[in-house]
Amino acid sequence: MRFCKKGKLSPRYIGPYEALQRVGNVANELKIPQELAFVHPVFHVSMFKKCLGDLASILPGYGLGVDENLSYEEVPIAILDQQVKRLRNKEVSTVKVLLRNHLVEGATWGAEAEMRSRYPPLFSAKGLIFYS
């Protein structure tokens, strides 16, 4: 996922970071951590969001596992719920998974068969492992 508005699971904002200095009329240089050293530190003011209130909803910049091409892999860490949707001719089993670096409110639904093939450790021999 890239750090932009495209993509359902892309983080919209990370931070907060301290502004070091103003560059021109519409840009600021930020003090970014060493893990994001390959990211240019000057950003346009339209890319900023005022940091208000709930600090628990802010994603930390460290530990995201960001590659040099500004992407990272979404890894599910827990199964929160399961449901079976009935279509006309078949039944589709889906699971609600909690992704690494996301809050519980950001959990997403996916097909159980696909999750089982891509991420076998999420499923035990006896069935699903649910976390609450």
Q: pLDDT digit string (tens) for 36-70?
A: 778 888 988 888 877 766 666 565 655 556 666 66
Q: Which domains does the chain have, with CATH numbers?
A: 1-73 (no CATH), 76-128 (2.40.50)
Mean pLDDT score across all residues of the chain: 76
The residue ranking higher by pLDDT, 83 or 101, is 83
Q: What is the pLDDT of residue 29?
A: 92
Residue-wise pLDDT tens digits, 1-25: 345 555 566 666 777 788 899 999 9
**In this structure, are residues 47 and 41 in contact, taking their beta carbons and an 8 Å threshold?**
no
Q: What is the pLDDT of residue 5?
A: 54
Q: What is the pLDDT of residue 132?
A: 45
Q: What is the pLDDT of residue 2?
A: 44
Judged against a pLDDT cut of 70, whether residue 71 lies above it is answered with no
User: Which contacts of 29-36 are long-range, i.e. CB under 8 A and separated by 24 or more positions?
Assistant: 32/61, 33/61, 33/62, 35/61, 35/62, 35/64, 35/66, 36/61, 36/66
Q: Which residues in 61-126 belong to E strands, given as ranges? A: 76-86, 91-99, 108-111, 123-124
Q: What is the pLDDT of residue 43?
A: 87
The residue ranking higher by pLDDT, 103 or 87, is 87
Rounded to an integer, the average pLDDT of 77-89 is 87
